[in-house]
Amino acid sequence: MSQHAAAAAGVRWDLSDLFASHDDPAIDATLTACRTRAEEFAARYRGTILVPGGPPPDHLLAAILEMEGIQADLERVGAFASLLYASDTSRPEFRDLRERVEQHLTEIGNLVLFFELEWLEVPEDAAAPLLDHPALAGYRHFLRQARQMRPHTLSEPEERLLNERDNTGPRAFGRLFTELTSSLSFPFRRDGREERLTLSEILALSHEADRDLRRRAHETLFEVLERHALILTFVYDTLVQDHLTIDRLRRFPHPMAARHVANEIDAEAVERMLAATERNFGEAQRYFRVKARLLDLPRLALYDQYAPIGAELPRATFDRARQLVLEAFEVFSPAFAAAARQFFERRWIDAELRPGKQDGAFCASPSPLLHPYVLCNHTGNLRDVMTLAHELGHGVHGWLARAQTLFNYDTPLTTAETASVFGEFVVFDHLLSAESDPRVQLALLCGKIEDTCATVYRQAVLTRFEQAVFARRPAGRFTADAVCRLWLDANRPYYGDAVEFTEAYRWGWSYIPHFIHSRFYCYSYVFGELLVLSLYRRYKEEGAAFVRKYLGLLEAGGSDSPEALLRPLGVDFHDPAFWQKGFDEIHALVDRAEALAASLAQPASPAGAKPDAG
Ligand SMILES: [Zn+2]
């Protein structure tokens, strides 16, 4: 612990360019000013957008600019409250600030809600000339994207009612899930001592070298979850039914439709991508067989998937991690590296381990008028270096897109992970080429392939599972057993006969937060990873010409649809061959691992378990 804690000691972000402290009077002054502006906005614009023939273009533009200005000020307060809370979740005054700010944001949001609703009600023939008007060119995508919700929006009182009721409805079930899973305690015996582990601690044991320990961790995880089957099933079942009800009220044609609108992608492209993923399950199974040979097992079990393969990966202090990431970025593009360097020099990053600090890692890019912030928990292993590369990729994206206005800044989920996953690839490649020990090279490759499997194949499995659940729910309330069966059915085609199932694994669905908090989120991971795999191949082929186009993509932020922004890079995700390119890259990685493994293979030990004939 102390060695880990020292890995990034003192690396804390500086939030003082947002506000001075949690009790800075400027916070309340900003909220009050925003509320006044929102009330004035409502007094000035209510009833002036939905008018016969549509509003005059300059009137509509003035309204958008005013709303964007209010929103930008709110982002500053919202970002400060949530970053401060993330930096120490145990401080009641930080939690209070965050809750108070959220309440204000909902109320102020409700004051200006009419604007979007009026715009949606403007008939097509009046809206079309506005969408083409040069004065509104900077907001064309924003205005057009908002209208995608036209057939699915309810009246203003209904929308307000849903907003308010959601806090004690679906969001309350979400909180119950979070509070239950984060309060779980897993009894685990290790080194002769009985420990109580948290969910993330017991999950982390899947990376341990000791097979018996991994198996016991796997069993304990699901044993404890099974004890809460009643609540976990009830919560999930309720949220699925709630989603179906809202879909019916909003007239969405199928359960994924709302997500597709937000992601700016159509059902056909998503289905094509999932089908391509399923056609390539064999690639993952080939890797599982390679890994079984490396671990000297006849066949992998589920709990062997993330086992280390022997070689010690080098450790990296935070300084070393910074150096590695910046070196790699520099090779890719000096501009990319320069943008990343600021995070360290200007203290936009919080990396040290502290009690009370939020787990995991994220990058927040609240507004183009501010700058992004990165949070991570650097323990000093090589995975942390990849996490740093990932979050800095997001950070550089947020920085490069700052010439966009707030309403053109954020990208949808489908492309939100482009820069981050790309950043990981750049660093992975750099580490691999700098490494001379073939054992470490193999460990790096296996780590990359396993991450890719978890991001591509597994997320497609999760999506198929959700589809099956939603298709079955209209027939009646779920029993835990029925959910478990659908879960196993969705997993079987992926693992095939390459991985041995366990009895306990039927509870594998029960702790996954995405099913609860953001349904049908998971296919965005598949999209992002496959997109980056094929972009990375293009970078290898085209070099500097690609880098220019790529930086242009990041600078464009969310100013147009993913389809339009990706076109200059030669990406057409309606082309069936496009998805296959990503799998060709995975194939090449597995080939490389297989060849390296074969060249390192030791002579067979006569008594040991031997690889199967396949
Ligand atoms: Zn990310």
Q: Which residues of 540-549 are buried (b: 16+ CB within 10 A; e: fewer)?
A: eeeeeebbeb
Distance (angstroms) between ligand 1 centre and the Cα of 413 equals 10
Q: What is the 375 CA–ligand 1 centroid distance (Å)?
A: 12
For 499, phi then psi, to 5°, come to -130, 135
Give 60-111 as a DSSP string: HHHHHHHHHHHHHHHHHHHHHHHHHHHH-TT-HHHHHHHHHHHHHHHHHHHH
Task: Please give the distance, rounded to the nearest whole angstrom, from the Cα atom of residue 391 to the centre of ligand 1.
Answer: 6
pLDDT tens digit sequence for 66-117:
999 999 999 999 999 999 999 998 899 998 999 899 899 989 999 999 999 9
What's the pLDDT band for 610 if we cut at 50, 70, 90?
very low
The CA 363 to ligand 1 mean position distance, Å, reads 8
Question: What is the DSSP annotation of 343-373?
Answer: HHHTT-EE-S--TTPPSS-EEE---TTS--E
Q: Compute, in angstroms, the gap from residue 297 CA to the centroid of ligand 1.
A: 34
Residue in 246, 566, 537, 271 with CA at minimum distance from that of residue 412: 566
Complete edge-to-edge strand list for the sheet that includes strand 349-350: 349-350, 373-375, 362-364
Distance CA(417)–CA(270), nearest Å, equals 16
Whether 367 and 408 have beta carbons less than 8 Å apart is answered as: no
* Spacing, Cα 528 to ligand 1 middle (Å): 10
Three-class SS state of 583 = helix
CA distance 87 to 165: 30
Task: Tell me how crowded residue 446 is: count the other CB atoms within 10 A of its CB.
Answer: 25
Q: d(Cα 576, Cα 276) in Å, to the nearest integer?
A: 8
Q: Which residues pair with 375 in a beta bridge?
A: 350, 362
CA of 519 to the centre of ligand 1 (A): 17
Closest CA to 573 of 520, 511, 524: 524
Q: How far is the CA of 524 from the centre of ligand 1 (A)?
A: 11
Residue 195 CB contacts under 8 Å (≥ 6 apart), including other chains: 187, 188, 189
Quick one: pLDDT at residue 381? 86
The predicted structure's pLDDT at residue 313: 80
pLDDT of 348 > 50? The answer is: yes
**pLDDT grade for 421, boundaries at 50, 70 and 90:** very high
3-state secondary structure 55-73: CCHHHHHHHHHHHHHHHHH
Name the β-bridge partners of 362. 375
614 pLDDT tier (thresholds 50, 70, 90): very low
Classified as helix, coil or strand, 360 is coil
pTM (global) more than 0.75? yes
Q: Pick from 267, 586, 318, 262: which is nearest to 456 by CA? A: 586
* Length of the chain in terms of residues written: 614
CB burial string 222-257: b at 16+ within 10 A, e below: bebbeebbeebbbbbbbbbeebeebbeeeebeebbb
Helical pair 229-249 and 457-472, crossing angle rounded to 10 deg: 70
Ligand 1 center from residue 394 Cα (angstroms): 7
Ligand 1 centroid to residue 45 C-alpha, Å:
38
Rounded to whole angstroms, the Cα distance separating 22 from 97 reads 7
* H or E element, residue 390: helix 382-400
CA distances, 574 to each of 264, 266, 271, 563 (Å): 13, 9, 10, 9
362 CA distance to ligand 1 centroid (A)? 7
Spatial distance between the Cα atoms of 221 and 186, rounded to a whole number of angstroms? 7
Beta bridge partners of 373: 364
| Contact partners, residue 484, CB within 8 Å, separation at least 6 | 506, 507, 509
204 — pLDDT class (breaks 50, 70, 90): confident
Confidence of residue 126 (pLDDT cuts 50, 70, 90): very high
Q: Reply yes or no on whether the pLDDT at 601 is more than 70.
A: yes
Distance 51 CA to ligand 1 centre (A): 42
Question: How many angstroms does the Cα of residue 514 sit away from the middle of ligand 1?
Answer: 14
Token pair of 183, please? Answer: 């309060």
